[in-house]
Structure 1
Amino acid sequence: MRISIRFKWTALISIVILMAYIFVGVLAMRTVQNVASVNEIHSFTNKLLIGGIVVFVIGVLLSYFAVTMVLNDLKRINKTIDDLNKKPDSDSRIKLRKRNDEVYDLTVNINKMLDRMQAYTNQQKEFVEDVSHELRTPVAVLEGHLSMLQRWGKDDPQVLNDSINSSLQELKRMQSLIQEMLDLTRVEQIDSAYLEQTTEVKPLFTQVYNDFKMLHPDFVINFDDDIREGSKVKIYRNHLEQVLVILLDNAFKYSADRKEINFAASTNSALLEVVVQDYGLGIAKKDLKRIFNRFYRVDKARSRKRGGNGLGLSIAKRLIEIYHGSLEVESVVGSGTVFKIELPLIQEAPAEDETSKGE
C-alpha cells in the first residue's frame, strides 16, 4: 500500500535526524568518558537530553504539518460534497494539485463518480423532458378530436368517422412510443446472463432476409451473404435480430422512388461485418452526429407520417455497443444512407489433429 508522500518525507527526515543525533551522542559519550571529568560528563548528558527534546519537537512539528495538510484536503473534499448535497445540479468538483498519494487518488475517483452521477442525472432529466414533449402532440390531437365530437361532431357521421380514425392512429403511435421507451429502458439494464449468449450468424440473417422479402414484395432486396458457415458472435439472438429489424425497417421507410435495398453480411478472421444500404432521401451532414440521440428525427413531420419516434437508432447503437461492437453511418442527401455494423466473432479453438489424437 502506498503511503502519502508527505508522511514519507516527514518520517524519513525525522528518522534521519534521530539516528544522526543518537550516533553523534553515543560517539561523543565514549569520547567524553575517556577524557573528561564527571562534571563534564554530567554537563554533556544534559546537553544531549535537551538536544533529544529538540529533535522530538521537530518531529512532532513536521508530523503536525503533514497531518494538517491532509486534513485540509479532506475538508475540501467534505465541503465539495456538502455543496453538492445542497445543490445537486452543481458542477462543482474537488480541486487539488496533482501529486502521487492516496488523497489525490481518492479525489480523482470521487470526481469521476460525480461526473457519472451528473451524466446519469442529466440523462434522466432529458429523458423525462423528451417523453413529455413526445406525448404532448398525440394527447393534444386526441383532446382536440374529443372536444370537437363533444361540441358538434358526433352528429356528423363523416366527422365522427374521421375523428375516430385519427384518434386511433394517435393511440397506436403512443403505444409504439411507450413500447420503444420500454425497449430503451431494458437495453440500459440488460441482464448479465444475456451478455454470455452466443448466436450463429448465418441462419439468423437468412431468416431476417426472408421475413423482409415477404413483407415488402415491391422492393428489390440485394442480399449478399458471405458469412462463413458456423460463424458465431457473442450476442443474444433477439438483440441482434432487433438491431437488424430496426436498420432494415428504416431503410424501407425512408426509401424514395428507387425501391431497392442492399443487405450484406460477411465474416473475416475476427469480425462480422454488416451493411444496410438504401437509395432514399439521405441525411444531411449536420444531422449525422445526432441521429443516434434519443427522440432525434431529421424531419419530424416526415418521421411522424412514417410512424417513427426517434428511438430505434438509439436502441440499435446501444445494443451493439453493449456487445463491444460498433454501428456507424454514412449518408449523402439525395443518394441514400449506409449503416455499417461490426461485431467481434467468437474465435473457435482449432480442431485437434487426427495424428496427434492417435499418439
Structure 2
Amino acid sequence: MMERLTRLIRQLPIKWKLMLGATTLMFLLFATYNFSQYLVLKQWMMNQEKDKIQVSMAQLQDFLNEKSNTMDTLLITEARPYIEKMIGKNQLVRIIGKNGEPLLTVSNHFDENWVTPRTVEAPELFDTTHQEDHILIYRSPFITTKYVGTLEFASNLETFDHFSHTLFWVMLIGGVLAVFISAISGLAIARQLMRPIRALAATIRSVKEKGLTERVSNIENGDEISSLAQLFNELMNQLEVSFRQQKQFVEDASHELRTPITILEGHLSLLNRWGKSDPEVLDESLQASLQETRRLKGIVEELLTLTRVETHLDSEINEPIQIEPVIQETLKRFEVLNPEFLFQVNTEKMRDALVSISPLHLEQILLIILDNAVKYTMQDRRIVIVGQRLINEVQITIEDHGIGIPQDELPYVFDRFYRVDKARNREIAGSGLGLSIAKQFVYKYQGEINIRSKENEGTTVIIKLPINQIMK
C-alpha cells in the first residue's frame, strides 16, 4: 500500500507535489502547535481550579480553627451559613467525623451521592469521573482538642470541560481552515513558480518542432527559475550561432573542395578520352591535376590544423621565450621568399619581453598574416612590422598598403573559408582558413587579434599577447 502511494505521489505533476508538500508541512506545524497549546492551556486551567479549591479549603479551616474552643454539634450547625456563603456553583462541602459519618453537608447544584465520604490522614487532591461528570475532590484532615475529622471539598468541572471542548474544536476548525488556505495558497504559488518552467518546456517543444530560433519569453521576474530560462536563451543563442557556423562551414568547405575535385575530374576525363596519345594535353592535364591536388592537400592540412587548435586550447604548457628573435628570424626567411617587397621592422621596444608561447605557433601566426599582406598588395609593396611592450602585454602590428577590406566585411574575415570578394579573388591562391587558424592560435595563449582596414589604402593587423615576465 505504501509503495503504491509513494509511486502515485512520484507520478504527480510538480505543482501538485509542491501543494501537497506545503499542505503537509503546514498541517504538521499547526497540529503540533495547536496540540501543545491545547495541553498547556488545559493544564493551566486545571491548576487554576485546584488553586481555587485549595484556597476555599484554607478559608474553611481558618474559620473552624477560630471556633475550635467550642467545637460541638452546635458549632457545626452554625458553620452552615458561612459555608453556604463561600461555596460556588457545582460544588460540595462536607464535614466528616472520625468514624466516616457526614456531620455536615452543603451543596450547590451538586449531587452528594456522586462522592462517597471518606476520612484521610493526609491531604489528597485528585480528579475523577462519575458517569459523564468530571469531579475535582480535595480532602484534608482537621484535628483540634475537641474534634477529629475530615474536611471534604468537591467541584464539578462541567464549566472547565465545556471550555476545554470549545477550545479543542476552535483549534481543530482553525487548523483545518489553515491547512485548506495553505493548500490553496500552495497551489497558487506552485502555479506561479511553474509558469517559467512551463514556458521553458513549451519553448523546448517549439525548438524541437520549429528549430533553434525559438526563445523563452516573459522572464523578467529576476528569480532563480527566470535565471534558468535566461540561461537557456543564452545557450540557444550560442547553439544557433554554432549551428549556423557549422552549416556555413559545410557549405564553404563543400564549395572549396568541389572546385579542385571538379577540375581533377575534368582533366582525368580528358586524359581518359584522348589525352593519352597527345603529349601536350597530357602534360597540361598532369600539371593542372598536380596543382589542384596540392591545393586539396593544403585545404585538408589547414582544416586539420584548425581542428587541433580548437580541441587542444589548454592542453599544453609552454616555457616563456623571447619573442623578438623569433619575429626577426621569421621575417628574414619570409623576406628571402618575397624579395620584391620592402619590410620595415622595428621591434626594439619588445626585446626584453618574455611570453609563454610555442615558437612554431608564433611563427605560423606571423606567416599567415604576412602571406595575406603580400597576396593582397599590388602596388605599394611596403610591409611595416612594429613590436612594442605595453603594461602587461606585447603588441605586434603588421601593416600593409594593399587593396584593403570593405568595412561591412571586416566582422567576417575570421570566419572559416571567408574570402573578401570571392569572385574577384579566385585567382589568388588561398582557402580562407588562414585567419581562422591565426585567431585560434592567438586565443590559445589568452591573446587578442584585431584588424583595421580601409579599402584601397591598406590593412593593419594588431596582435596582443600577455607578458609572462620581463628579463632583468
Q: TM-score range by the shorter chain?
A: 0.7 to 0.9
What do the CA deviations read for 1:46-77 (whole angstroms, capped 9, x no partner)?
22321222122222322233234444544443
The 1:43–1:89 alpha-carbon spacing in structure 2 relative to 1, beyond 3 Å, is: closer
Aligned mates of 2:256, 2:378 — CA distance in 1: 26
Q: Which has the higher contact order (CA 8 A, sep 6+)?
A: 1
**TM-aligned CA deviation for residue 324 of structure 1:** 2.7
Counterpart of 2:442 in 1: which secondary structure? helix
State yes or no: 1:157 paired with 2:248: no
Aligned residues: CA RMSD: 3.4
Which structure's residues are more often helix, by fraction? 1
Contact 1:276 1:339 in 2 (8 A): yes
The 1:109–1:193 alpha-carbon spacing in structure 2 relative to 1, beyond 3 Å, is: same
Counterpart of 2:412 in 1: which secondary structure? coil
Aligned mates of 1:346, 1:115 — CA distance in 2: 35
> Matched residue pairs, number?
339
Which structure's residues are more often strand, by fraction? 2
2:178 alignment counterpart: 55
Counterpart of 2:266 in 1: which secondary structure? helix
1:252 alignment counterpart: 374
Calculate the TM-score normalised by the size of structure 2. 0.63
Calculate the TM-score normalised by the size of structure 1. 0.81
1:184 alignment counterpart: 306
Aligned mates of 2:467, 2:307 — CA distance in 1: 27
State yes or no: 1:298 paired with 2:391: no
Contact 2:302 2:434 in 1 (8 A): yes
Equivalent residue letter for 1:194: E
**TM-aligned CA deviation for residue 208 of structure 1:** 0.9
Contact 1:198 1:237 in 2 (8 A): no
Counterpart of 1:300 in 2: which secondary structure? coil
Aligned mates of 2:290, 2:397 — CA distance in 1: 36
Residues 139-218 of structure 1 correspond to what in structure 2 (within 5 A)? 139-194=261-316, 197-218=319-340
State yes or no: 1:319 paired with 2:435: no
Counterpart of 1:328 in 2: which secondary structure? strand
Q: Quick one: percent identity of the two aligned structures?
A: 33
Aligned mates of 2:306, 2:167 — CA distance in 1: 83
Aligned mates of 2:45, 2:174 — CA distance in 1: 17
The 1:88–1:238 alpha-carbon spacing in structure 2 relative to 1, beyond 3 Å, is: farther
**TM-aligned CA deviation for residue 82 of structure 1:** 4.3
**TM-aligned CA deviation for residue 112 of structure 1:** 2.8
The 1:18–1:89 alpha-carbon spacing in structure 2 relative to 1, beyond 3 Å, is: same
Equivalent residue letter for 2:465: L
What do the CA deviations read for 1:1-34 (whole angstroms, capped 9, x no partner)?
xxxxx99xx89xx79x969x96998999899887
Contact 1:195 1:323 in 2 (8 A): no
The 1:89–1:238 alpha-carbon spacing in structure 2 relative to 1, beyond 3 Å, is: farther
State yes or no: 1:130 paired with 2:252: yes
What do the CA deviations read for 1:149-192 (whole angstroms, capped 9, x no partner)?
22223332222211211111111111111111112212211242
Aligned mates of 1:314, 1:159 — CA distance in 2: 38
Equivalent residue letter for 1:268: L
Unmatched tracts of structure 2, length 5 or more:
1-17, 50-157
Residues 112-131 of structure 1 correspond to what in structure 2 (within 5 A)? 112-131=234-253
| Further displaced range: 241-250 or 36-45 | 36-45
When Rg is computed on C-alpha atoms for both structures, the one with the higher figure is 2
